[in-house]
Chains A and B, each alone.
Chain A
Amino acid sequence: MGRAKLPRKSTAIDMTPFCDVAFLLLTFFILTTKFKPDEKIPINTPSSVAAKVAPQKNYIMISLDKDGKAFLNSDREDVKTDAINILNKDHNLGLTDGEIHRLATMPIIGTSLQNLKAYSGLPTTALNDKLPGIPIQDTANNQLTEWMKAFVSVSQDLQGEDPENKANNLTIILKGDNLSKFPQFKNVISALTDNMILQFQMVTNPEMVPVGSELWRQAQNAAPAAKANG
């Protein structure tokens, strides 16, 4: 009796479905991705259990780096232009319209008011953590207060125009580094509270709520209730 011959099968695998999956995933990632914004000043934010997503639009961001230097940024160029205009007038900085426009389009503002003129001529490559930052070190010369004053007045003008328009509600975000010390943070807060900005947001990394804590228990209780209602 001859042994039954097994048909010899090719070891070649059809790669087509595999390729399909790969490119499907690739398309998904290309379409959903948003590149990490180019960070001029490296900041490691602390983490918290806060669940609210940081605003991505209509914000004024104050960054506080690990050496306690403050930087300003906003996604609204018109707001920045108006604020710089006000400061220019109040402090006789002698900025031309071109310089103001250049400052407003810069990704970050990090120098004293007196140096703004020279600062407007800096190339983008010079905008890094070696900048001096907005002076906040001592309470007597806290220039962030001046900036916030200008921003508050711009924001009030905007709201006066059309209070219903959500785009006119500017949010103040504070982005601080893990290692920045309290005295600088204190001066940033006083710059805000002196201008009656009593509510602001602080950027943090998301963190899990510790299991067994009160907040965790509340979330656990809320979840079945929501299920029962839904």
Chain B
Amino acid sequence: MAELDTSSHDSGKKGPGVKKGKKLSTRVDLTPMVDLGFLLITFFMFTTTMSQPNAMNLKMPDDKQNVDPTKIKQSGALTIFLGKDNHIYYYEGENLKADLSNVQSSNFKDIRKVILDKKANTPPDDLFVVVMPGNASTYKNIIDILDEFSIDMVERYALVNKVDPQYEADISKLDSLSTQ
């Protein structure tokens, strides 16, 4: 704070001609320094990266090795299609019907309940979730669904990265149905 220098008023008793050096206060006004300090703090707080990016592990199956497909029990399978505009389609168990009548539509909010229901109704060793992303799905969709598995603690899942043209056609068909 600015301080008034009042010391000169005390020197009234001196006779004429007696000159005394002005007593200066040794106190320094620290306000600007504090201002500067906090300005720099703010700057460093904004530029610093406190949160390190995290990494998610993904293991891909070896496609050169032939795995016996009958090892997966049909009853425990849940297949999830990722469509465009964050749409999800899924079907349980048996093979996909040609008219897609056993496919249900969902979204990223409701899929958790679907996965948990499936998990509750199947023996833990049989549960197997397959993700088939369509060509219109984004990277975010894939990460979100994989993240969903870790949230729901689904241990056996697979990301299909060689999408069959047939499935691709099915996904586009589902997309066009859902937008109607």
Instruction: State the A residues within 8 Å of B (CB).
Output: 10-13, 15-16, 18-19, 22-23, 25-26, 29-30, 32-36, 45-56, 64, 173, 176-183, 185-186, 189-190, 192-193, 196, 198-207, 209-210, 213-216, 218
**Those 6 A-B pairs whose CB atoms lie nearest each other, nearest first:** A22-B37, A15-B30, A29-B44, A201-B55, A54-B55, A176-B139
Residues of chain B within 8 A of A64, CB atoms compared:
139
Name the CB-closest residue of B to A207. Answer: B147
7 cross-chain CB contacts under 8 A: A10-B3, A22-B38, A36-B47, A53-B52, A199-B59, A202-B58, A203-B56
Given known A29-B45, A50-B55, A185-B142, contact A13–B135 (CB-CB < 8 A): no
* A55, A182, A185, A204 — most chain B CB neighbours (10 Å): A182
- Cβ-defined contact, A54 with B1, below 8 A: no
Instruction: State the B residues within 8 Å of A (CB).
Output: 1, 3, 29-31, 33-34, 37-38, 40-41, 44-45, 47-49, 51-63, 82, 112, 116, 133-144, 146-147, 150-153, 161-163
- Cβ-defined contact, A193 with B161, below 8 A: yes
**Smallest CB–CB gap between A26 and chain B, Å?**
5
Query: How many A-B pairs fall under 8 Å by CB?
Result: 180
Assembly CA distance A181 to B151 (angstroms)? 24
The B contact surface, by secondary structure, is mixed
The A contact surface, by secondary structure, is mixed
- Cβ-defined contact, B59 with A181, below 8 A: no
Q: A35-B49, A185-B139 are in contact. List 8 more A-B contacts (CB 8 A).
A: A26-B41, A182-B134, A182-B136, A186-B161, A193-B63, A198-B60, A201-B58, A205-B54
- Cβ-defined contact, B56 with A50, below 8 A: yes
Which of B45, B55, B59, B152 meets A52, CB within 8 Å? B55
**Smallest CB–CB gap between A34 and chain B, Å?**
6
Which of A19, A35, A48 meets B37, CB within 8 Å? A19
- Cβ-defined contact, A201 with B56, below 8 A: yes
Assembly CA distance A28 to B57 (angstroms)? 34
- Cβ-defined contact, B3 with A178, below 8 A: no
